[in-house]
Structure 1
Amino acid sequence: MKAIWTAAAAMLLSVSVAQAATNVTPPDELARNTANALLEELKTNKESFKQNPEQLYAVVDRIVLPHFDFDYVSKLVLARYWRKATPEQRTRFQQAFRSQLVSFYGDALLDYSDETVRWEDAPVPEDATDVTVKSEIVPKGGDPIQISYATHLTDGQWKVYDVTVDGISLVTNYRGQFAAEIRRNGLDALIQRLESESNATS
């Protein structure tokens, strides 16, 4: 499982989605272009990132997460508990969950070892509001890992709202994990755990 999510982390850094306007770079093309630039930065600074992961966390936070529809992701992950949450709980959850994703994917990205990346074209119909960008990673000596990115049009921009790795959805995975924890201990306890983990890595 770690190998799969390590691959997802590497590819997650490649996803930056175009603004919705006529003749803009389509999501799949922009993802490929961004991947080349970011993975080159990783190769150049990998040793520095290993010594100081905070530098890599800053890259993930600055370049990747702004292209996620984090409000929507949070709603999908918490599901019915989002509707019951207070505005303060929602804000705290989003901040803590964002920090966890930054550190998780940053740490996993350090295991990236120049695997081959393949992309599928993702034509965007004129009236499309939801597009899936598909790719695969071919590890050295291993089977290809299928990775897809669900994107949708929101407030004039294309943004990512889910990542699926070999059939395993990030949203579905966290939704099940968090729902079980909320049922046992309550939403506040989940938020406090995430905040504690976030503080430990900051």
Structure 2
Amino acid sequence: MIMLRLMGLLVVSLLLVVQPARAGDGPAAEALVKQAVADATAAFAGGPFSREVSRDKVSALVSKYGDIAYESELILGRYWRKATEPQKDSFVSLLIPFFVATYAELIDNKSGSTQVLFLGSEEMADGVVVKARIMQPAEEGVDLSFVISRSPAGKLVISDAIAEGVGLVTTIRSDFTSVVRGAGGNLDVLLDAMRKKIAMVPAAGR
């Protein structure tokens, strides 16, 4: 389950769903997921790490696979369009520290024993789905599907991951926009909540 949550964090960081992948993208999509999983597994092997180190590791993954400013726009949807420039800048700067503060204790691959079995890919109308199974010793395997789309620049990107019928990126987007909607559209309420989470004293060793 540790690696499942790691993949959830990774996918959130890589959100770029805007255009469907083209026909014939299956092999390239599968290669993208394999490389992303390998990079994330290697980056967090041997933890736990401090929050600062974890932030650096996540930032490196985002720099390689995503675009944090554009991802921020997609997460907030219509609330991004209504936000002031300072609010946008704040959200972009808070996003990675927030996720590290929220999931830090779940993303370290301490034992290095997690295995990812890839089960092939399937081309869909709105992208490519890469199927995998997350395996850990003494635990039942967890099936996970990665949804691959293309960015406006034509880059293949991971746009969501589905586990047990739940889209991880979709859930995070819903949670964030729900907070803003509950505050009458006031984005500052979400920003303050993110800052408070980041400022919380981490567990020992974090």
**Percent identity of equivalent pairs:** 23
Is the 8 Å Cα contact of residues 43 and 57 (structure 2) preserved in structure 1? no
| Matching of residue 147 in structure 1 with residue 144 in structure 2 | yes
One of 4, 9, 16 as aligned partner of 1:7: 4
Counterpart in 1 of 2:117? 118
Structure 1 counterpart of 2:90, which letter? Answer: R
Is the 8 Å Cα contact of residues 58 and 96 (structure 2) preserved in structure 1? no
Return the offset for 1:93. 1.5
Gaps of 5+ in 2: 15-20
One of 152, 156, 159 as aligned partner of 1:158: 156
Alpha carbons of structure 1 residues 184 and 37: separation in structure 2 relative to 1, 3 Å: closer
Superimposed CA distance per residue, residues 159-185 of structure 1 (whole angstroms, 9 cap, x where no aligned partner) = 222232222222322233223322333
TM-score by length of 2: 0.68
Counterpart in 2 of 1:136? 133
Structure 1 counterpart of 2:195, which letter? Answer: E
Return the offset for 1:37. 5.4
Counterpart in 2 of 1:61? 59
Structure 1 stretches (4+) deviating beyond 6 angstroms? none
TM-score by length of 1: 0.69
Is the 8 Å Cα contact of residues 8 and 165 (structure 1) preserved in structure 2? no
RMSD: 3.7
Alpha carbons of structure 1 residues 134 and 11: separation in structure 2 relative to 1, 3 Å: farther
Rounded to whole Å, the distance in 2 between the matches of 1:145 and 1:92 is: 36
1:137 alignment partner, SS class: strand
Structure 1 counterpart of 2:190, which letter? Answer: L
Is the 8 Å Cα contact of residues 10 and 112 (structure 1) preserved in structure 2? no
Alpha carbons of structure 1 residues 112 and 134: separation in structure 2 relative to 1, 3 Å: farther
- Hey, which of these two has a bigger chunk of helix by percent? 1
Alpha carbons of structure 1 residues 105 and 132: separation in structure 2 relative to 1, 3 Å: farther
Return the offset for 1:32. 2.2
More contact order relative to length (CA 8 Å, sep ≥ 6): 2
